[in-house]
Amino acid sequence: MQHGTQERLKLQSRRSFLVQMGLLTGGVGLAGCHLGDKGPAREAIIDIHQHLGYSGRTDAEFLAHQAAMGVSRTILLPAGRPMKTKSTHDGVSNGLQAQCLGNEACYLLSRQHPDRLYFAANEVPDAPGAAEEIEKYLKLGAVAIAEQKFGVECDAPEMQRLYALAGDYHVPILMHWQHQMYNYGFDRFHKMLARYPQTIFIGHAQTWWANVDQSHTDQAQLYPKGKVTPGGWTDVYLRDYANMYGDLSAGSGLNALTRDEEQASAFLVRHQDKLLYGSDCNDRPGKGNACQGAQTIAAVRRLVPDQTVRQKLFWSNARRVFRI
């Protein structure tokens, strides 16, 4: 999919304006962290994975939750339009199976809080006009295509159209990998990574994180426990493909960090330029054991004593990948 030079320049100009606006109005972010080009005055956090309406949470509760976690910037990931199709499991997957709101809600709230919120664009990939719906919000400044969480083959023509679209607009596409439920064919996904080298892919969820372990053979086991043998598909994808990144969010990410902390520490350092902090939690408190996102922040701090590496995971990788 090609776009004229004028359209590209308009989009780049708008993105540059939004970045400058965020920096100028957000010199002190939600957690009081300076986000200038020289880095944060103290440890800043960009949360690349949150949702509006998540399990019925209000916008006010969401904003308070992010503040309690100490997050400086957040990327809102919308759901696709509600519909009953095979790819939405006859409607079960509507709202990302969690009451999450769509493109318009994420766009509008981010415009109300340009100093702390960015938005992604999303749609059911095999719905009529899916690429056009996503492109509409990319032109408005969306920083990603996310979260793709639908029952489709990872190499289906509809998905490949979105991979190409992400490459055209220089935004990442974030995919929820869950065996026999969302994005089928994880073992052959390397073919898509090779076919679309200009597209940045971000891996997320149960099947992505279970496969850090080379010994993981039962793909129906979504939250495996015990020691990890390095060299699983996830480890290999991150190592061998420059365009593959990982999202630390959700219970699956936290499980991968805590099931074998010695290996997790080595994994975080080994892939320090390819991993991004996200929360993807639906609680209200935003702190303590009630909040999985806060537990993930604590785990990263515990496992990565090097502040330079932590800064990459919490902040600078996200700024580079999402160009914010």
The enclosing domain of 222 has a CATH number of 3.20.20.140
The pLDDT assigned to 90 comes to: 97
Query: What value does the mean pLDDT take over residues 80-92?
Result: 96
Give the C-alpha separation, 29 to 169, whole Å: 27
Angle at 264 between CA 236 and CA 153, to 5 degrees: 40
For 110, the token pair is 């981010």
Q: Where are the beta strands (DSSP E) in the chain?
A: 46-50, 73-76, 117-119, 145-148, 173-176, 201-204, 244-247, 275-276
Is pLDDT of 182 > 90? yes
Cα–Cα distance measured from residue 36 to residue 160, given in angstroms and rounded to the nearest whole number? 36
Confirm if 254 and 292 have CB atoms less than 8 A apart. yes
Q: Which domain holds residue 169?
A: 5-322
In this prediction, residues 80-93 reach a mean pLDDT of 96
pLDDT in tens, 184-227: 999 999 999 999 999 999 999 999 999 999 999 999 999 999 99
CA separation for the pair 11, 323 (Å, rounded): 13
Per-residue pLDDT band at 29 (split at 50, 70, 90): very low
Q: What is the pTM of this model?
A: 0.88
H-helix or E-strand spanning residue 250: helix 250-258
Which of 40, 200, 18, 202 is CA-nearest to residue 116? 18
Q: Which helix (H) or strand (E) holds 261?
A: helix 261-270
What pLDDT is attached to residue 283? 98
**Structure-token pair, residue 307:** 């502040």
Distance of alpha carbon 297 from alpha carbon 293, whole angstroms? 6
Mean of all residue pLDDT scores within the chain? 90
The pLDDT value recorded for residue 247 is 98
Assign residue 133 a region (left: φ > 0; alpha: ψ between -120 and 50; beta: otherwise): alpha
**42: pLDDT confidence band, cut at 50, 70 and 90?**
low
Number of independent structural domains in the chain:
1
Instruction: Report residue 15's pLDDT band, with 50, 70 and 90 as the boundaries.
Output: very low
